[in-house]
Amino acid sequence: MDQNAPILIFDSGVGGLTVYDALRKLLPDAPVIYAADLAGLPYGTKSEAEIAARVAGLLGRMSERYQPRLICIACNTASTIALAMVRETLEVPIVGTVPAIKPAAAMTKTGVIGLLGTAATVRQAYVDNLEAEFAADKRLLRYAASGLVGAAEAKLRGQPVDRAAIETAVSALRSMQGGEDIDTVVLACTHFPLLVDELAESFGPDVQFVDGANGIARRIVYLTQDQPFDRTLGARAVTTGDIEEFTLLAPTFATYGLERLDRF
Ligand code: DGL
Protein backbone atom coordinates (compact mmCIF):
# COMPACT_ATOMS: atom_id res chain seq x y z
CA MET A 1 0.00 0.00 0.00
CA ASP A 2 1.41 3.39 -1.08
CA GLN A 3 1.28 5.53 2.07
CA ASN A 4 0.47 8.61 -0.03
CA ALA A 5 -2.52 6.95 -1.72
CA PRO A 6 -5.48 9.17 -0.84
CA ILE A 7 -8.94 8.45 0.43
CA LEU A 8 -11.19 9.99 -2.22
CA ILE A 9 -14.31 11.63 -0.82
CA PHE A 10 -16.87 12.36 -3.50
CA ASP A 11 -20.02 14.50 -3.50
CA SER A 12 -21.88 16.76 -5.90
CA GLY A 13 -20.86 19.77 -3.81
CA VAL A 14 -19.98 20.73 -0.25
CA GLY A 15 -22.22 18.15 1.45
CA GLY A 16 -19.46 15.55 1.67
CA LEU A 17 -17.59 17.88 3.99
CA THR A 18 -19.89 16.66 6.76
CA VAL A 19 -18.50 13.16 6.20
CA TYR A 20 -14.93 14.39 5.78
CA ASP A 21 -15.23 16.31 9.04
CA ALA A 22 -16.19 13.13 10.91
CA LEU A 23 -13.38 11.21 9.18
CA ARG A 24 -10.57 13.65 9.90
CA LYS A 25 -11.35 13.46 13.63
CA LEU A 26 -10.67 9.73 13.50
CA LEU A 27 -7.92 9.68 10.86
CA PRO A 28 -6.15 13.06 11.03
CA ASP A 29 -3.10 11.72 9.18
CA ALA A 30 -4.92 10.24 6.20
CA PRO A 31 -4.17 11.84 2.83
CA VAL A 32 -7.47 12.96 1.35
CA ILE A 33 -8.76 14.27 -1.94
CA TYR A 34 -12.19 15.86 -1.65
CA ALA A 35 -13.93 15.85 -5.03
CA ALA A 36 -16.93 18.11 -5.61
CA ASP A 37 -18.82 17.55 -8.85
CA LEU A 38 -20.01 21.14 -8.96
CA ALA A 39 -20.49 20.91 -12.74
CA GLY A 40 -23.14 18.27 -12.01
CA LEU A 41 -24.76 19.88 -8.95
CA PRO A 42 -27.54 19.33 -8.05
CA TYR A 43 -27.92 15.58 -8.37
CA GLY A 44 -31.20 15.41 -6.48
CA THR A 45 -33.34 16.74 -9.32
CA LYS A 46 -31.74 14.56 -12.02
CA SER A 47 -32.95 11.20 -13.30
CA GLU A 48 -31.59 7.88 -12.04
CA ALA A 49 -29.97 7.16 -15.41
CA GLU A 50 -28.23 10.51 -15.51
CA ILE A 51 -26.91 10.21 -11.96
CA ALA A 52 -25.71 6.63 -12.42
CA ALA A 53 -23.88 7.39 -15.67
CA ARG A 54 -22.31 10.57 -14.32
CA VAL A 55 -21.14 9.11 -11.00
CA ALA A 56 -19.80 5.88 -12.50
CA GLY A 57 -17.97 7.75 -15.28
CA LEU A 58 -16.43 10.34 -12.99
CA LEU A 59 -15.34 7.87 -10.33
CA GLY A 60 -13.71 5.70 -13.00
CA ARG A 61 -11.69 8.66 -14.27
CA MET A 62 -10.89 9.94 -10.80
CA SER A 63 -9.67 6.58 -9.67
CA GLU A 64 -7.35 6.34 -12.66
CA ARG A 65 -5.95 9.78 -12.01
CA TYR A 66 -5.63 9.72 -8.22
CA GLN A 67 -5.15 5.98 -7.52
CA PRO A 68 -7.13 6.18 -4.26
CA ARG A 69 -6.88 3.44 -1.63
CA LEU A 70 -10.62 3.83 -0.98
CA ILE A 71 -13.51 5.87 -2.37
CA CYS A 72 -16.26 7.27 -0.18
CA ILE A 73 -19.40 8.34 -2.03
CA ALA A 74 -20.36 11.00 0.51
CA CYS A 75 -23.72 11.61 -1.13
CA ASN A 76 -26.97 9.81 -0.40
CA THR A 77 -28.38 10.49 -3.84
CA ALA A 78 -25.39 9.01 -5.66
CA SER A 79 -25.08 6.11 -3.21
CA THR A 80 -28.71 4.99 -3.22
CA ILE A 81 -28.67 4.98 -7.03
CA ALA A 82 -25.15 4.11 -8.18
CA LEU A 83 -23.32 2.34 -5.35
CA ALA A 84 -23.86 -1.21 -6.58
CA MET A 85 -22.91 -0.28 -10.15
CA VAL A 86 -19.73 1.54 -9.10
CA ARG A 87 -18.72 -1.37 -6.87
CA GLU A 88 -19.09 -3.71 -9.80
CA THR A 89 -16.88 -1.67 -12.09
CA LEU A 90 -14.05 -0.51 -9.81
CA GLU A 91 -11.52 -2.63 -7.93
CA VAL A 92 -11.02 -0.11 -5.15
CA PRO A 93 -13.12 -0.43 -1.96
CA ILE A 94 -16.16 1.86 -2.05
CA VAL A 95 -17.98 3.13 1.03
CA GLY A 96 -21.43 4.57 0.42
CA THR A 97 -23.81 6.75 2.37
CA VAL A 98 -27.01 5.19 3.60
CA PRO A 99 -29.95 7.14 5.05
CA ALA A 100 -29.72 6.67 8.84
CA ILE A 101 -33.14 5.01 9.23
CA LYS A 102 -31.84 2.21 11.45
CA PRO A 103 -30.43 4.51 14.19
CA ALA A 104 -33.46 6.79 13.89
CA ALA A 105 -35.78 3.84 14.55
CA ALA A 106 -33.81 3.06 17.69
CA MET A 107 -33.94 6.69 18.86
CA THR A 108 -37.58 7.65 18.31
CA LYS A 109 -39.88 7.60 21.32
CA THR A 110 -43.06 8.65 19.52
CA GLY A 111 -42.51 6.18 16.67
CA VAL A 112 -42.78 8.94 14.07
CA ILE A 113 -39.64 9.69 12.06
CA GLY A 114 -39.19 12.42 9.49
CA LEU A 115 -36.78 11.98 6.60
CA LEU A 116 -35.36 14.81 4.53
CA GLY A 117 -33.51 13.91 1.36
CA THR A 118 -33.32 14.98 -2.25
CA ALA A 119 -36.16 14.14 -4.62
CA ALA A 120 -34.05 11.40 -6.20
CA THR A 121 -33.21 9.84 -2.83
CA VAL A 122 -36.67 9.76 -1.25
CA ARG A 123 -38.16 7.82 -4.18
CA GLN A 124 -35.53 5.04 -4.13
CA ALA A 125 -36.42 1.41 -3.48
CA TYR A 126 -33.23 1.45 -1.40
CA VAL A 127 -35.07 3.68 1.08
CA ASP A 128 -38.21 1.49 0.95
CA ASN A 129 -36.03 -1.50 1.82
CA LEU A 130 -34.39 0.27 4.77
CA GLU A 131 -37.83 1.29 6.02
CA ALA A 132 -39.16 -2.28 5.70
CA GLU A 133 -36.10 -3.75 7.41
CA PHE A 134 -35.59 -1.31 10.29
CA ALA A 135 -38.70 0.84 10.72
CA ALA A 136 -41.62 -1.41 9.81
CA ASP A 137 -43.24 -0.75 13.19
CA LYS A 138 -42.68 3.03 12.93
CA ARG A 139 -44.13 5.73 10.76
CA LEU A 140 -41.57 7.20 8.34
CA LEU A 141 -42.59 10.48 6.73
CA ARG A 142 -40.42 11.48 3.77
CA TYR A 143 -40.04 14.86 2.18
CA ALA A 144 -38.00 15.76 -0.91
CA ALA A 145 -36.24 18.90 0.26
CA SER A 146 -34.11 19.58 -2.80
CA GLY A 147 -34.23 23.32 -1.98
CA LEU A 148 -32.04 22.74 1.06
CA VAL A 149 -29.10 21.73 -1.14
CA GLY A 150 -28.78 25.25 -2.56
CA ALA A 151 -29.28 26.71 0.93
CA ALA A 152 -26.35 24.68 2.28
CA GLU A 153 -24.15 25.55 -0.71
CA ALA A 154 -24.93 29.24 -0.18
CA LYS A 155 -24.23 29.06 3.55
CA LEU A 156 -20.74 27.68 2.96
CA ARG A 157 -20.07 30.52 0.52
CA GLY A 158 -20.87 32.97 3.30
CA GLN A 159 -24.24 33.93 1.83
CA PRO A 160 -27.45 34.21 3.84
CA VAL A 161 -29.37 30.98 4.37
CA ASP A 162 -32.68 30.72 2.54
CA ARG A 163 -35.03 30.60 5.54
CA ALA A 164 -38.03 29.96 3.28
CA ALA A 165 -36.46 26.67 2.11
CA ILE A 166 -36.04 25.61 5.75
CA GLU A 167 -39.60 26.57 6.67
CA THR A 168 -41.02 24.82 3.60
CA ALA A 169 -39.28 21.55 4.49
CA VAL A 170 -40.26 21.67 8.15
CA SER A 171 -43.89 22.59 7.58
CA ALA A 172 -44.20 19.96 4.83
CA LEU A 173 -43.20 17.22 7.30
CA ARG A 174 -45.26 18.68 10.14
CA SER A 175 -48.40 18.86 8.01
CA MET A 176 -48.29 15.18 6.96
CA GLN A 177 -50.54 12.79 8.84
CA GLY A 178 -48.84 12.18 12.20
CA GLY A 179 -46.26 14.87 11.46
CA GLU A 180 -46.88 16.74 14.69
CA ASP A 181 -45.46 13.71 16.56
CA ILE A 182 -42.13 13.64 14.73
CA ASP A 183 -39.36 13.51 17.33
CA THR A 184 -36.49 12.28 15.12
CA VAL A 185 -35.43 13.52 11.69
CA VAL A 186 -33.09 11.62 9.37
CA LEU A 187 -30.88 14.01 7.41
CA ALA A 188 -30.63 11.78 4.34
CA CYS A 189 -28.55 14.18 2.29
CA THR A 190 -24.99 15.01 3.26
CA HIS A 191 -25.67 18.71 2.69
CA PHE A 192 -28.35 18.89 5.37
CA PRO A 193 -26.24 18.58 8.57
CA LEU A 194 -24.71 21.89 7.45
CA LEU A 195 -28.16 23.39 8.18
CA VAL A 196 -28.84 21.57 11.43
CA ASP A 197 -28.94 24.75 13.53
CA GLU A 198 -31.52 26.36 11.25
CA LEU A 199 -33.56 23.13 11.07
CA ALA A 200 -33.43 22.71 14.86
CA GLU A 201 -34.65 26.24 15.36
CA SER A 202 -37.57 25.63 13.07
CA PHE A 203 -38.53 22.15 14.33
CA GLY A 204 -38.26 23.14 17.98
CA PRO A 205 -36.44 21.58 20.93
CA ASP A 206 -38.19 18.19 20.96
CA VAL A 207 -36.74 16.99 17.68
CA GLN A 208 -33.40 15.19 17.38
CA PHE A 209 -31.44 14.75 14.16
CA VAL A 210 -29.46 11.82 12.86
CA ASP A 211 -27.17 11.44 9.88
CA GLY A 212 -24.73 8.85 8.64
CA ALA A 213 -21.42 10.75 8.89
CA ASN A 214 -19.97 9.12 12.00
CA GLY A 215 -20.95 5.62 10.90
CA ILE A 216 -19.32 6.14 7.51
CA ALA A 217 -16.16 7.49 9.12
CA ARG A 218 -15.95 4.45 11.40
CA ARG A 219 -16.41 2.15 8.40
CA ILE A 220 -13.52 3.84 6.59
CA VAL A 221 -11.32 3.48 9.68
CA TYR A 222 -12.18 -0.22 9.80
CA LEU A 223 -11.41 -0.77 6.11
CA THR A 224 -8.07 1.06 6.29
CA GLN A 225 -6.87 -0.32 9.62
CA ASP A 226 -3.16 -1.20 9.67
CA GLN A 227 -2.55 0.81 6.49
CA PRO A 228 0.29 3.37 6.54
CA PHE A 229 -0.67 7.04 6.03
CA ASP A 230 1.51 9.93 4.91
CA ARG A 231 -0.18 13.30 4.61
CA THR A 232 2.97 15.19 3.51
CA LEU A 233 1.36 15.91 0.15
CA GLY A 234 -1.50 17.42 2.10
CA ALA A 235 -5.22 17.21 1.70
CA ARG A 236 -6.83 18.96 -1.22
CA ALA A 237 -10.10 19.56 -2.95
CA VAL A 238 -10.87 19.29 -6.65
CA THR A 239 -13.89 20.35 -8.66
CA THR A 240 -15.35 19.42 -12.02
CA GLY A 241 -16.72 22.96 -12.22
CA ASP A 242 -15.35 26.43 -12.67
CA ILE A 243 -12.15 26.95 -10.66
CA GLU A 244 -12.76 30.67 -10.11
CA GLU A 245 -16.10 29.89 -8.51
CA PHE A 246 -14.53 27.10 -6.53
CA THR A 247 -12.04 29.49 -4.99
CA LEU A 248 -14.95 31.35 -3.37
CA LEU A 249 -15.08 28.28 -1.15
CA ALA A 250 -11.37 28.49 -0.25
CA PRO A 251 -11.93 30.00 3.24
CA THR A 252 -14.47 27.28 4.07
CA PHE A 253 -12.29 24.48 2.75
CA ALA A 254 -9.33 25.89 4.69
CA THR A 255 -11.28 25.50 7.94
CA TYR A 256 -11.50 21.79 7.09
CA GLY A 257 -7.74 21.64 6.48
CA LEU A 258 -8.20 21.48 2.69
CA GLU A 259 -5.77 24.19 1.67
CA ARG A 260 -5.25 23.40 -2.01
CA LEU A 261 -8.03 23.70 -4.57
CA ASP A 262 -7.65 22.38 -8.13
CA ARG A 263 -9.72 21.60 -11.18
CA PHE A 264 -10.26 17.91 -11.92
N1 DGL B 1 -25.22 15.75 -1.08
C2 DGL B 1 -26.08 14.99 -1.90
C3 DGL B 1 -26.81 13.92 -1.10
O4 DGL B 1 -26.35 13.51 -0.07
C5 DGL B 1 -27.06 15.64 -2.82
C6 DGL B 1 -26.97 17.04 -3.26
C7 DGL B 1 -27.47 17.24 -4.67
O8 DGL B 1 -28.68 17.27 -4.91
O9 DGL B 1 -26.59 17.35 -5.52
O10 DGL B 1 -27.84 13.43 -1.50
Q: Is the CB of 239 under 6 A from ligand 1?
A: no
Mapped onto helix, strand or coil, the DSSP state of residue 124 is coil
| Cα separation, 96 vs 78, whole angstroms | 9
- Ligand 1 pocket mutation pick from 9, 10, 12, 186 by most atoms within 8 angstroms of CB: 12
Q: Which pLDDT value is given to residue 54?
A: 98
**Catalytic (active site) residue 75:** yes
Q: Which atom of ligand 1 is nearest to the CA of 97?
A: 4
Residues 6+ apart with CB under 8 A from 105: 113, 134, 135, 138
Beta bridge partners of 222: none
- pLDDT value of position 198: 98
Distance CA 191, CA 159 (A): 15
Residue 127, helix vs strand vs coil: helix
Mind listing the pLDDT tens digit of every residue in the chain (264 residues)?
Answer: 899 999 999 999 999 999 999 999 999 999 999 999 999 999 999 999 999 999 999 999 999 999 999 999 999 999 999 999 999 999 999 999 999 999 999 999 999 999 999 999 999 999 999 999 999 999 999 999 999 999 999 999 999 999 999 999 999 999 999 999 999 999 999 999 999 999 999 999 999 999 999 999 999 999 999 999 998 877 999 999 999 999 999 999 999 999 999 999
Q: Is the CB of 190 under 6 A from ligand 1?
A: yes
Q: How far is the CA of 190 from the centre of ligand 1 (A)?
A: 6
pTM score, two decimals? Answer: 0.97
Question: In the prediction, which pLDDT does 233 show?
Answer: 78
pLDDT of residue 234: 77
Which residues make Cβ contacts (< 8 Å) with residue 149, sequence separation at least 6?
12, 13, 15, 41, 42, 44, 118, 189, 191
Is there an atom of ligand 1 within 6 Å of 37 CB?
Answer: no
